[in-house]
Amino acid sequence: MGPRLIIVSNRVAVPDTPRAPLAGGMAVAVKAALKNRRGMWFGWSGKVAEESVGEPQAVEVNKINYVLVDLSKNDIQEYYNGLANSVLWPILHYRVDLQEYSRADASGYLRVNRMFADRLSPLLRDDDVIWVHDYHLMVLGRELRARGHRNTIGFFLHTPCAPPDILQALPHHRAILGGLAHYDLVGFQTENDRDNFAHYLVSQGATQTRTGYEFEGQKVRLGAFPVSIETKAYMRLARNAGRSAMVSLVRESLSGNRLVLGVDRLDYSKGIPDRIKAFERLLENNPEWRGRVTLLQVTPKSRSEIRQYGEIETEVTGLIGKVNGRFGDAAWTPIRYVNRSYSRTVLAGLYRAADVGMVTPLRDGMNLVAKEYVAAQNPDDPGVLVLSQFAGAAKELDGALIVNPHETDAVAAALKRALEMPLEERRERHAPMLDHLLENDIKKWAEDYLATLVGAQPARSLLAGIRALFGGQSDQAPLALR
């Protein structure tokens, strides 16, 4: 039968019903990796355990096996809200000034990683291939090794990776970041992220080998694997969603105005205040666009228990109120601000309806919104993507108008250019980006990473392992690290 693929992530997104739409972001990526492969997805159920954390619960939906563990209230506060999202998240996004470290949170992070290892360990077989995802579980590989597992274990970081000087601002950084050396392959979104971590390892005394790095007796390889989307499926979704009732209502409510769209979690890394200031500057410098363009900012709230997230919400709502008060009138609201989640279908329809997609994070690992916006467009009459140079997607989507989100005037000028761009130029910019996404979709991302990961096995079992993981269809040797 060949090896199983075991996916491990902080949160497991189980569909409510077999026909429920896929969640966005990493959930889509993980499900693509598991599609047509034997294995399971292990992680937090999203539920709070009443007392002590019990045994894992298994459920099967759409031929995918999910194994779920609950977390206690204390676990969530220390591991999730604490070290993961109040320390690691800001540091990885270059925001050392926002980290709030405590020993209790660090202890909680290590405790939950040990608990994951304890619950997962009895379920593993010797030939399972294990793929761990994201900053919540950096030390899980070390914990599994400590329990005697010699499986092929890989890790993928979905966030950016800051340079060594910033990573070293994490107290006891070697105990957490050094844990990544216990994986066979650590994947990053971009070559810059990969190189930053390589420089960190070297700064901590690692030696470079022919295939990777040796650190504290562990051998690890590093690679860049830009995550992507289900391009063809998303194109179909957007075509159908473009005719939906919700999108028709939005178009009708615009009364012929041009639509600029932003879709982001409420997070300080997304650059939403800077985007609003740029839109304000557009209206300030170009009176002819007043009453003719609307910014729709869709921003679901997240991590509201963390102080910095409440502060960014206050800042955003204040800025929007200022712009609407300054430029709006009874017949036109310059900025529409929505604090709720929409289904992938509705979002795909909004992307297709938008004349301009604004994806302007201050720092992002990849940003799949940018790729979804491109895939959702009508190729005969596409919109224009305005994209931050600090998003991982900027390395691939070079047909976008690439901007520095800190330069308010430059972003406002790019917005104006996007709104006034002729059809021929829009097509010329869109077509190569769509071709790239069709060639480099989410399935290829998973196969590229897994083929390289399986390359950590002895050569005699390499091709057999790849064929087993890919349903017996691949005769290719593992891809070279990029």
Among candidate residues 439, 461, 477, the one where a domain is terminated: 439
Hunting for tokens 């993981």 — which residue is that? 469
Percent of the chain at pLDDT above 70? 90
- Give the pair of three-digit tokens for residue 27: 């959930």
* Residue 474 contacts residue 467 (beta carbons within 8 Å): yes
Q: Is the pLDDT of residue 68 over 70?
A: yes
Residue 480 falls inside a structural domain: no
Q: Which residues contact 386 (CB under 8 A, 6 or more apart)?
A: 356, 357, 358, 359, 360, 400, 401, 403, 411, 414, 415, 418
Rounded to whole angstroms, the Cα distance separating 155 from 28 reads: 17
Do 160 and 76 share a structural domain?
yes
The pLDDT value recorded for residue 471 is 47
Do 446 and 434 share a structural domain?
no
Cα atoms in the 13 Å half-sphere on the side-chain side of 325: 6
The pLDDT value recorded for residue 1 is 59
Do 271 and 208 share a structural domain?
no
Rounded to whole angstroms, the Cα distance separating 131 from 141 reads: 10
3-state secondary structure 396-423: CCCCCEEECCCCHHHHHHHHHHHHHCCH
Q: Is the pLDDT of residue 476 over 50?
A: no
Hunting for tokens 């900012």 — which residue is that? 297
Rounded to whole angstroms, the Cα distance separating 292 from 273 reads: 22
Rounded to whole angstroms, the Cα distance separating 97 from 95 reads: 5
Rounded to whole angstroms, the Cα distance separating 433 from 437 reads: 6
- Is 165 a known active-site residue? no
Residue 176 falls inside a structural domain: yes
Average pLDDT of the chain?
Answer: 90
- Give the pair of three-digit tokens for residue 328: 């709006």
Q: Is the pLDDT of residue 17 over 60?
A: no
Rg of the chain, C-alpha, whole Å = 23
Q: Is the pLDDT of residue 458 over 80?
A: no
Residue 476 falls inside a structural domain: no
* Residue 163 CB-density burial (10 A; 0-12 exposed, 13-18 middle, 19+ buried): middle
CA distances from 25 to 13, 22, 389 (A): 11, 9, 20
Rounded to whole angstroms, the Cα distance separating 335 from 300 reads: 16
The pLDDT value recorded for residue 473 is 40
Q: Is the pLDDT of residue 294 over 80?
A: yes
Domains identified in the chain, total number: 2
Q: Give SS3 for 129.
A: strand
Residue 245 falls inside a structural domain: yes
* Residue 262 contacts residue 405 (beta carbons within 8 Å): no
Do 339 and 380 share a structural domain?
yes
Do 150 and 78 share a structural domain?
yes
Q: Which one of 93, 136, 158, 436 is the catalytic residue?
A: 158
Residue 101 falls inside a structural domain: yes
Do 110 and 246 share a structural domain?
no
Q: Give SS3 for 109.
A: helix
Residue 475 falls inside a structural domain: no
Do 247 and 183 share a structural domain?
no
Do 249 and 222 share a structural domain?
no
- Give the pair of three-digit tokens for residue 160: 């950016």
Question: Which candidate, 275, 261, 260, places its Cα nearest to that of 361?
Answer: 275
Residue 177 falls inside a structural domain: yes
- pTM for the model stands at 0.91
Rounded to whole angstroms, the Cα distance separating 361 from 179 reads: 28
Rounded to whole angstroms, the Cα distance separating 355 from 401 reads: 13
- Is 133 a known active-site residue? no
DSSP 211-266: SSEEETTEEEEEEE------HHHHHHHHHHHTTSHHHHHHHHHHTT-EEEEEE--S
Do 453 and 346 share a structural domain?
no
Do 25 and 169 share a structural domain?
yes
Q: Give SS3 for 134.
A: coil
| Lowest-confidence segment of 151-165, 275-289, 307-321 by average pLDDT | 307-321
The pLDDT value recorded for residue 430 is 98
Do 384 and 283 share a structural domain?
yes
Rounded to whole angstroms, the Cα distance separating 274 from 429 reads: 25
- Give the pair of three-digit tokens for residue 34: 């598991």
Do 393 and 330 share a structural domain?
yes
- Dump pLDDT digits (tens) for 335-356: 999 988 888 899 999 999 999 9
Rounded to whole angstroms, the Cα distance separating 381 from 1 reads: 48
CATH number of domain containing 149: 3.40.50.2000
Which amino acid type is present at position 123? L
Question: Which candidate, 393, 455, 458, places its Cα nearest to that of 223?
Answer: 455
Rounded to whole angstroms, the Cα distance separating 229 from 3 reads: 26
- Helix 442-454 / helix 26-34 crossing angle, nearest 10 deg: 60
| Lowest-confidence segment of 39-53, 251-265, 404-418 by average pLDDT | 39-53
Residue 382 falls inside a structural domain: yes
Q: DSSP character for 118?
A: H
Q: Which one of 364, 430, 436, 448 is the catalytic residue?
A: 364
Residue 75 pLDDT grade (very low, low, confident, very high; cuts 50, 70, 90): very high
Q: Give the range of the structural domain holding residue 378, as residue numbers without chain letter.
A: 232-439
